[in-house]
Structure 1
Amino acid sequence: MDIIFLEQVKVQTKLGVPEWERMMPQTIILDIEIGYDLTNACKSDAIAETIDYGAVVGRIRETLTEHSFQLVEALAEHVCQLILNEFGALSVKIKVAKPAILPGLKALGVVIQRNNKSN
């Protein structure tokens, strides 16, 4: 399996356990690895043979603007399922980071990995 990676994707969303934290959008940072068979794309040099990473980023930004989450875990699962279901990925690994949310803390977050059960 091959990997398409999207590193340090900055996205605005409403995220946090306290209600006040979800009042205003905040920046989160995503690192995403998408498992896909790139054999045909390597041979054809055609976008139709791969996952359009611009479309992935656009769709993530769209859905995170529309939704609010209490937990980074729920946000990570939402993005994984979106990539698996809408883009036909074989697997997705995502790191979600909330930067500088607590004093003296660079970031907090989660890393999860999911596989497409239909492939």
Structure 2
Amino acid sequence: MDTIFLEQVKVQTKLGVPEWERTLPQTVILDIEIGYDFSKACQSDAIENTIDYGLVVARIRETLAEHSFKLVEALGEHVCQLILKEFKAQNVKLKVSKPGILPGLKALGVVMERDQK
């Protein structure tokens, strides 16, 4: 299997357990690995035989701007399912980082992996 990776994708969304934390968008950083069979793309050199990472990033930014999440886990699941369903990825590994949320803490977050069912 082949993998497309997108590192340090900065997105804006409303995220946090306390309601006040979800009043304004904040930056979340995503590291994404998308599993896909690139054999056709390697032969054809055509974008339609692979996953257009520009469209993936645009779609993630669009959907996260429209939604609010209490937990980074729920946000992560939302992004994983979007990539699996809309882009027909074989699998996805996602790291969600919420930077600078607590004093003395660089970031908090989750790492999750999901496969096509």
Per the normalisation by structure 2, the TM-score is 0.99
* 1:47-68 deviation per Cα after TM superposition (whole angstroms, max 9, x unaligned): 0000000000000000000000
| Structure 2, unpaired ranges of 5+ | none
How far did residue 43 of structure 1 move? 1.0
- Residue number in structure 2 paired with 1:57: 57
- Report SS of the residue matched to 1:102: coil
How many Å separate the matches in 2 of 1:76 and 1:33? 13
Q: Which residue of 1 aligns with 2:116?
A: 116
Whichever residue aligns with residue 13 of structure 1, its letter is T
SS at match of 1:88: coil
Alignment of 1:35-46 (within 5 A): 35-46=35-46
Q: 1:14 maps to which residue?
A: 14
Number of equivalenced pairs: 117
- SS of equivalent residue, structure 2 residue 4: strand
Q: Please, which runs of 5 or more residues in structure 1 have no aligned partner?
A: none
Letter in 1 for 2:90: L
Alpha-carbon distance between aligned partners in 1 of 2:80 and 2:8, rounded to the nearest angstrom? 16
